[in-house]
Amino acid sequence: MIKQSSMFDAITVYGLEGSGAPDFGLLAESLLFYGHVSLVVNSGHLKTLLRVCGYEAIRDLMNINALSLVYLENGAGVRTTDAEHCNERHDFVVFDSPVLHLQNCLPEILRELVGKQGKARRIAEQLKRHVSASRHPQTINDASLEDIATSSYVRPAVARVVRHVAPEYPAPDPFIFDVVRDGPFVRVSTNIDFAALNLVYHRRVDPQHSTITSAFLLSTLHQATAELKIAASANSEMAPNGPFSGEHADCRHTPYWRASRATTK
C-alpha cells in the first residue's frame, strides 16, 4: 500500500502489469494518497489510459493539478548479437521513431477514440498543457552496463521477474543468472529452461507480444535504471510495480536513486 510520505508531496508512477498495460489500481491509490501524481507513459500506455479512463476524466484530473503525464518519446531496450549462439552478446540501447513523438502520437490516438480529426486536435492541445515530453538519455546505457555487470542484486532481481511473469514455472534451485561484462557488451550464463518458462508465460501473454529470453530479462533491469533516472529528475518518490518493484528499484547504491534521495535533504 502507498502511504503519504513526509518527504514527498508528489509521486512518479511508472507501473506496468505483466501485459505492459498501465496499473490503474496503483494509479488510483497514488491519486488518493499524494497531492500530485506524475504518470510516465509511452504511446501504448497513453492509448490504453485514454481509452479506459476517458479523455474527459484525465483532463479533469489535470485541470485540478492532481495528475500530469511524462510522455516518453523513445524507448530503452537490449540489442542482441549472435543470438542463440555460443558467442551471444547483449548491449543496452535507446531507440527512437518519429511516430512515437508526442506531437504525432497524441492527435492520432484521440482521432481513433473520438472519430473526428478536428475535435481530436482540439482535445490534444488541451491535454498537451499537462504533458511533458521526455527522452531516455544515451547515458542510461552506460549506467546499466556498469550497474548490471558489477552488482550482486542481478540474480535475485531476475528471479523476482521470472516469478512475477510466470509464477507457475518451477525455477531451478540454485537459480543461476550470471552476467559478465565483455567490453561494451554483456554475456549471460543461466540455467533457466526458456522453453518451459515460455510455455507458462504464453498462457497469459500472446507470443506475438513477447517471448522471454536473456535479453528480455536484461531489458527489465535496463528499464528500471531508466525509471530511477526519471524519478530523480522529477524530485519525487517513485512507485514501481510488478517486476520493477524488486531489488533493482530498492538498490540505493544506484547513482540515480542516490540523486533522488539527496534532493530531499
Residues 82-112 pLDDT 10s: 988 888 999 999 999 999 999 999 999 999 9
pLDDT tens across 117-144, in order?
A: 899 999 999 999 999 998 999 999 999 9
CA distance 136 to 138: 7
Percent of the chain at pLDDT exceeding 70: 81
Judged by DSSP in three states, 218 sits in helix
pLDDT at 243: 52
> Looking at per-residue confidence, does 228 or 139 come out higher?
139
Residues 6+ apart with CB under 8 A from 28: none
Contact, 15 vs 241, CB < 8 A? yes
Q: How many CB atoms lie within 10 A of CB 119?
A: 13
